[in-house]
Structure formats: C-alpha cells, structure tokens
Amino acid sequence: MKHLITIVGPTAIGKTALSIALSQHFKCEIISCDSRQFFKEMTIGTAVPNPEELQAATHHFIQNKSILENYTVGDYEKEALHKLEELFENNDFAILIGGSGLYVDAILKGFDEFPEINPEIRSQVNSNYEKLGIEYLQEQLKNLDPEYYQKITIENPQTLQNPQRMMRFTEVCIGTQKPYSSFLNQKKNNRNFTPILIGLEADRPIIYDRINQRVNIMMNEGLLEEAKALYPNKTLNALQTVGYRELFSYFDGEFSLPFAIEEIKKNTRRFSKRQLTWFKRNETTQWFDYSANRTTIIAYIEKSF
C-alpha cells in the first residue's frame, strides 16, 4: 500500500519544518503543492524553503517554472501524479505539502474534465478582459452561472479577482452554453495511493503573530528589491499575489511603504482564514497544534497504515 502523507494548514504555521522531519523519518521525498513556490523568479515573497531546508530533504515542484509560462492546476495535476508514480516505484511513502487548497484537491481527488473550448472564444474573452477589466469577467460569471458566482463569493472571494480563473469560467460558459458548475464533481479519478491528511493549526492570535513576524523577516531579506525586479511583469497572473501586489501599489505611488507593509500583513491574515476554511471542509484531516511533538504526529501516521 502506498501512502501520501499530506500536510495542510495556514501560511506561516510550520508546514515546511514538519514535512522535512517526516521526510527524514519515513525516508521519502517531498512534493510541493504551493502554487506560488513553483515560480523561480519568486523566492522571498513565497517563503520558498531555504537552501538548508532544501538540502535536508529532496523537494519537487519548487521554483521549477517561470512566471512567463502559462501553468495551470491541470498541468500541475498531470506532472505531480507522474512524479508520484516514479517515487512510489521505490518507496511506500511520499509527502505532499502546501497551502493551495485547489492544488491539494487536484492531487487527492482528481480534476474535473471540461470540453475543449474554441480558441476564438478564448481569444475574444481575453480581448474583452483587456478592454473592460476584471469587472467584465465578474459580470459574465454572475449572469451565466449565478449559482457558482454566489458560491465563490462566499467561500473564496479572492477568486473573483483572479483574471486567469475568471477567464476560464467565462470561456467555458460561453463555449459550452452551460454553467461552469455543471462540469464540476461529475467524476473522480482513482488514485493508486492512500492519503493521510495532517493539518497544523493554532489559536488565531498566534497565527497572526507568526504572519506578522514572517512579513517583517521577508522585508529584511529583500522583498522590496525582489518586487521591484518583478514590477515590469506586474500584470502576470503569477504576480497577483499577496506580498507583491501591495508593493506594486507602493511603486505606483498609491501606497506609502509602511502602509504597503501593513496591507501585506492584513491580506496575508485574511488569506490564512480562507485557507483554514478550505481545509476544514475535509473531515478526514487530523488536526494538530503547530507546537505538537513530532513523535505524536508520527505515531498517528503509523497507526493509519
């Protein structure tokens, strides 16, 4: 039996340290499931594992793509499952770690299948977005799939500001003449592994304090300079990310630097709440306090075999 030990939880909770400890104990490798750590141009602002951490365990899908590439969750699902097949040939264990709920679900449950969309429709939707902005996409989804629009407004409102995903919703609705949501949850693909889900959590003040500290560390390590180098590409989807967006507004003269830093902290705290909401939906996840002894977590995993 192959087991995929999956570590989830809000940002800055300590998932990386736990994944390395479990990797060393079970002598297995780590698959990253953080949708921003894929990009090699983004290091400080995405809290990529440091060189010592990368050396302590073998990691995959860390800074393996460019922000200039169009890399979707479907692409990731195919590549990560292929890598898992390779890892399971020689090992009964692998570790999946990340705070990107959609990407975790794609690996554990499978991705929904959609019909091919006429490239002309995709081009037209993209052109309309460039002329009319994100409001055009929001209005299209609201009209063409009001049920799904309402769902993401409540459960994951940040999605409404994500141009790539909103364009995808719109092109599917227009191209198929059906609501996007009608293609969801039609079937789930079988997996050749059994997931063991571990969640890390803490009281909200502790999470918020850890986030504030992390942002301060990022600024000290050069996040401002990293964002400045990325500024010419600020419209790319990969850069519609907390920590970069706020500094782009500073470069645009919209924010002062102290205000931008406080906005990064505030928006990261909001993001952590959405992460917990997403991950708490899965009732099979076993939650541990972030300070829990590693041996306690290992004992739970070993009892789950």
Residue set of the binding site for ATP? 9-16
3-state DSSP assignment of residue 60 = strand
Diameter of the chain measured on Cα atoms: 56
Residues annotated within the binding site for substrate are: 11-16
Name the β-bridge partners of 289. 201
φ/ψ region of 12 (left if φ > 0, alpha if ψ in -120 to 50, else beta) reads: left
DSSP letters spanning 182-214: GGTTS-----SSEEEEEEEE--HHHHHHHHHHH
**Cα(43)–Cα(50) distance, rounded to whole angstroms?**
9
Token pair, residue 253, equals 């003269």
From CA 258, how far away is CA 260, in angstroms rounded?
Answer: 5
Can you read off the two tokens belonging to residue 161? 């500001």
- CB count within 10 Å of CB 180 equals 21
Q: Which amino acid is at 189?
A: N
Which residues, including other chains, have CB under 8 Å from residue 177's CB and lie 6 or more apart?
A: none
Residue numbers belonging to the annotated binding site: 9-16
Q: Are 143 and 170 in contact (CB under 8 A)?
A: no
Contacts of 242 (CB under 8 A, 6+ apart): 264, 267, 268, 271
